[in-house]
Amino acid sequence: MVPVHDLGVAALAILGVAFLIGWSSARLNQATLLWGIAHLSLAGATFTGYRYHLQPESLWLGVMATLLTGFFLASLHGGTNFLRGRIIGPGTLIGRSLGVAFLIAVVGIGGDKRAASILVLGLMMLVYGVSAYLCLRMHYRLLAAAFSLKTAAFLLYFLEPSTIGTPFQNPDILSVGWVSSVLLGLVLVDAAIAQTRQRLSNVIKHLPDALVARRLDGKILFCNDRFAQLAGSASPAELEGQQVPLLTREQEEAEAMFRKVNAMVQSGPMDAPMRLERAVTPARGEPFPAEIIFSSYMDLGYPVILGLIRDLSERKRGEEERLHQANTDQLTGLPNRRFLEQQLDAVLWIAHRQHTQCAVLLIDLDHFKKVNDTLGHAFGDELLREIAQALQDQLRPGDLLARLSGDEFALVMAGLPSLMSILEVEARALALLQLIRRQFKSDGMDYQIEASIGVAFSTREGLSAPVLLQRAEVAMYESKARGRGGWCFFESDMDERLAESLRLESALRQAVPRGELRLHYQPIYSCSTGRMTKAEALVRWENPQLGWVPPGRFIPAAEESSLILEVGQWILEEAIRQAAQWRAQSGLAPVISINVSVRQFAQPGFESQVFALLERYGVPPAGIELELTETLLASDQEDLPALLHRLHDAGVGLSLDDFGTGYSSLSYLSRFSLNTVKIDRSFVMGLQESSRNHSLVRAIISMAHSLHLNVVAEGVETWRQYEILKAEGCDYLQGYLLGRPMAADQLRAHPQVLAGEESNIPDAVI
Ligand code: C2E
Ligand code: MG
Ligand code: MG
């Protein structure tokens, strides 16, 4: 039969197990774990302690009782401390337990078991008393009372000090101890449950979103503080059992939504949450955008609807900010191309509906790159900001202004009446040009900022924004080509030109890799020796789809894109390779004239590219001549004179092509290091008929000679022209009379010397 005092042991053990079960369902509640350990330890300590008193020779029982008592005291204290947020680790717990056990053992080994019992009793009273005090401070009044009762119960033990902790204690005193222990255990279980509940309610209370649970009749089961605040209540408790207030201005819409959710829930719990975005109007304050999420669950067999209101103001603000940034040019603060294209589509649609017109004025600054490169980007940025501000200041209602890229702005004029709009736009373009035009001096240099404007109108057929912008761009380039600082309206043939150049460009892109390009060579004879001293390399392109494309058509298209760089490099290498081959094969060494376009010269590394090719193929610099255009000399390429000088010094020939057709500025002839001037074919053509042309040719030759330049006459087609040019002292002659452009091997077979007799002149084609 179980001794009566072991009933208390069993009661304590059951309490300990109950705590551990509670802990297994709410693991983060460390108090229940520690109290479980405490009560199991107490049960163990009492069990072994009693037996030690009955068999004092069994020392291990004494050791166990002491150790378990230490565990009991340390874990009970730890559990209570957890309630005020102090968490202890297993190491600390074991350390403290062993410390207490050691203290008891020391006193016990000192020989006085009674003193050890009184010490244990004192420590227990201390721990329970401190726990009572802590609980009182934390307003766990019931728990504080239970701890106090337990502390007080210990006082009874002092009525019979000799029986403390033994099985010989007075059963009445023992009963009071047990009852107080069981009471304390029950209250502790309640406190643990309350703490778990408190934690859950804290989560809901501090949820930033408003949360409400309601029944189908609209009465609130519970809600959190945020919801109560939105509903204008002081606390959630005030709202419980009340009808849910509708937090919206559109009452009808809200009620419909309410009914819809009810109907969904009546037919069973919702499968997935329902999400809506609505403006929520709180009882006090401004409406705000919110996400409302409905879900449902069953509570004691009744459906409950859970509503969550999430404030989206912050997110919306962020989105608006991002949208603003995505649509705004950071430098000037003006709308950017993306925004303009979006808005322009809407403007065009309205114009189409209202039978009005709109115009896009594409404004591109002239010579901005020069300012940027010489005066620095900070200066360039400031200038752009200044111009953007000036453009903005002149805006009229309905206008749309944007910075498209770099130095390119677009102004959209909307709602123009169809008639008269050209005049209005013209006046506006003129005003814009004046507004932008400015001059300034820096470091002794004069700078002039102007703009070129391309204008495109919407049409009846309705154009898309990108097409209209592209048309304005085409017109703007046309305006630049006609001389900067003006404006130009888009015309349909510009479109065809654009399409043609795009077609050519895409076919040309494949021309080099597919080997569709060839070089032909046209002989150039010296008048004094009659020898073929030079040959001009002329590119030929045969495309399977387009057929034979003359260079006059595709070179300008290549120049508009950067394709000319790839094509030009191929020409340069092929011409030098051919020159090397001729030299190696037959000693035939005409100087090869190679046409070079402006963009090739502007390309960094052009000079080293030329020298590298000459070296690779073993051709001396004097074996080639570069044909330049007047456009190159007129371009404001800063380092051009120095670059030409270096090439010239190295021995590379430099000739000015098509002289007389362009700017024909005499200053170019003296300013740049040139060797040769090529008189354009148009002057040679009219030599016989026009005495004016004759005089011009004579003047060009004598002027060139006075500057120590050689003269080549291009396009010599007749024997008469040949005679005149020779008589005028022209140095070299080139033309169909002397030889058409031909493949490299044909040139080898072509007469190398002109005998001066008509019969010796190779097959003239007139
Ligand atoms: P260009 O450099 O002035 O070349 C002379 C053009 O006049 C060549 O036309 C040549 O075939 C033509 N020509 C020569 N003698 C006569 C003649 O007696 N009568 C007539 N009617 N024409 C004659 P092509 O080959 O069609 O070249 C046209 C233009 O294309 C060239 O003018 C040059 O500006 C450009 N080009 C040709 N090849 C190249 C090249 O390899 N690179 C670059 N950048 N441009 C090139
Ligand atoms: Mg040429
Ligand atoms: Mg020429």
pLDDT, tens digit, for every residue of 588-608?
A: 789 999 999 988 988 889 999
SS in 3 state form for 11-36?
HHHHHHHHHHHHHHHCCCCHHHHHHH
Distance of CA 186 to the CA centre of its chain: 62
If one compares 763 and 645, the residue with the highest pLDDT of the two is: 645
Specify the pLDDT at position 656: 95
Contact 239, 223 (CB under 8 A): yes
Say if residue 765's pLDDT is above 50. no
Distance from residue 229's CA to the centre of ligand 3 (Å): 86
Residue with tokens 């005495």: 691
Alpha carbon distances (Å) from 253 to 212, 227, 248, 569, 640: 19, 20, 9, 72, 75
> Mean pLDDT lowest for which of 315-319, 726-730, 746-750, 755-759?
755-759
Distance from residue 657's CA to the centre of ligand 2 (Å): 6
Q: How far apart are CA 458 and CA 413, in angstroms?
A: 10
Q: Of 247, 193, 230, 220, nearest to 83 (Cα)?
A: 193
111 lines ligand 1 (CB under 6 A): no
Share of the chain above pLDDT 90, in %: 42
Contact 224, 202 (CB under 8 A): no
- Best mutation site among 520, 524, 534, 538 for ligand 1 pocket (most ligand atoms within 8 Å of CB): 538
Specify the pLDDT at position 149: 92
Nearest CA to ligand 1 atom 2: 595
Number of neighbouring beta carbons within 10 Å of residue 675: 17
Taking only the tens place, the pLDDT of each residue in 617-638 is 999 999 999 999 988 887 767 7
Say if residue 615's pLDDT is above 90. yes
Taking only the tens place, the pLDDT of each residue in 448-475 is 888 999 999 988 777 888 889 989 998 9
CATH of 209-315, one of 3.40.50.150, 3.90.870.10, 3.30.450.20, 3.40.50.40: 3.30.450.20
| pLDDT (average), residues 403-417 | 91
Q: Of 317, 747, 397, nearest to 537 (Cα)?
A: 747
Give the number of whichever ligand sits closest to the CA of residue 600.
Answer: 1
573 lines ligand 1 (CB under 6 A): no
For residue 575, the ligand 1 atom closest to its alpha carbon is 41
Residue with tokens 């502790």: 188
For residue 550, the ligand 1 atom closest to its alpha carbon is 26
Question: In this structure, are strands 445-457 and 710-713 parallel, antiparallel, or unpaired?
Answer: unpaired
Taking only the tens place, the pLDDT of each residue in 349-385 is 988 888 888 999 999 998 888 788 778 888 899 999 9
Listed in order, strand segments (DSSP E) in 486-567 are 487-489, 517-526, 532-543, 547-549
522 lines ligand 1 (CB under 6 A): yes
676 lines ligand 1 (CB under 6 A): no
Say if residue 759's pLDDT is above 60. no
Q: Which residues contact 537 (CB under 8 A, 6 or more apart)?
A: 519, 520, 521, 571, 574, 575, 578, 592, 593, 594, 595
Distance from residue 403's CA to the centre of ligand 2 (Å): 40
Taking only the tens place, the pLDDT of each residue in 420-433 is 678 889 999 999 99
The residue extents of the domains of the chain are 4-203, 209-315, 328-490, 507-760
If one compares 747 and 182, the residue with the highest pLDDT of the two is: 747
Q: How far apart are CA 308 and CA 443, in angstroms?
A: 68
| pLDDT (average), residues 671-697 | 90
Distance from residue 538's CA to the centre of ligand 1 (Å): 6
Q: pLDDT confidence of 117, banded at 50, 70, 90?
A: confident
| pLDDT (average), residues 746-754 | 90
Distance from residue 714's CA to the centre of ligand 2 (Å): 9
CATH architecture designation of domain 328-490: 2-Layer Sandwich (3.30)
Say if residue 763's pLDDT is above 70. no
CATH of domain 507-760: 3.20.20.450
Say if residue 762's pLDDT is above 70. no
Contact 683, 650 (CB under 8 A): no
717 lines ligand 1 (CB under 6 A): yes
Taking only the tens place, the pLDDT of each residue in 543-583 is 998 899 999 989 988 887 778 999 999 999 999 999 999 99
Dihedral pair phi/psi, residue 704, rounded to 5°: -60, -45
Distance from residue 543's CA to the centre of ligand 1 (Å): 19
Q: How far apart are CA 485 and CA 430, in angstroms?
A: 10
680 lines ligand 1 (CB under 6 A): no
Distance from residue 661's CA to the centre of ligand 3 (Å): 10
42 lines ligand 1 (CB under 6 A): no
> Mean pLDDT lowest for which of 113-117, 145-149, 236-240?
113-117
CATH of domain 4-203: 1.20.1070
Q: How far apart are CA 197 and CA 208, in angstroms?
A: 19
Task: Identify residues whose C-beta is under 5 A from ligand 2, the ion.
Answer: 595, 627, 657
Say if residue 526's pLDDT is above 90. yes
> Mean pLDDT lowest for which of 109-118, 153-162, 253-262, 348-357?
109-118
| pLDDT (average), residues 510-524 | 95
Ordered DSSP codes for 675-742: SEEEE-HHHHHTTTT-HHHHHHHHHHHHHHHHTT-EEEE----SHHHHHHHHHTT-SEEESTTT---B
Q: Of 66, 81, 102, nearest to 33 (Cα)?
A: 81
Specify the pLDDT at position 755: 63
Mean residue pLDDT of the chain comes to 87
| pLDDT (average), residues 434-443 | 83
Say if residue 21's pLDDT is above 60. yes
Q: How far apart are CA 512 and CA 527, in angstroms?
A: 37
Task: Give the global pTM.
Answer: 0.50
Specify the pLDDT at position 662: 67
For residue 564, the ligand 1 atom closest to its alpha carbon is 44
739 lines ligand 1 (CB under 6 A): no
Say if residue 760's pLDDT is above 60. no
| pLDDT (average), residues 472-494 | 85
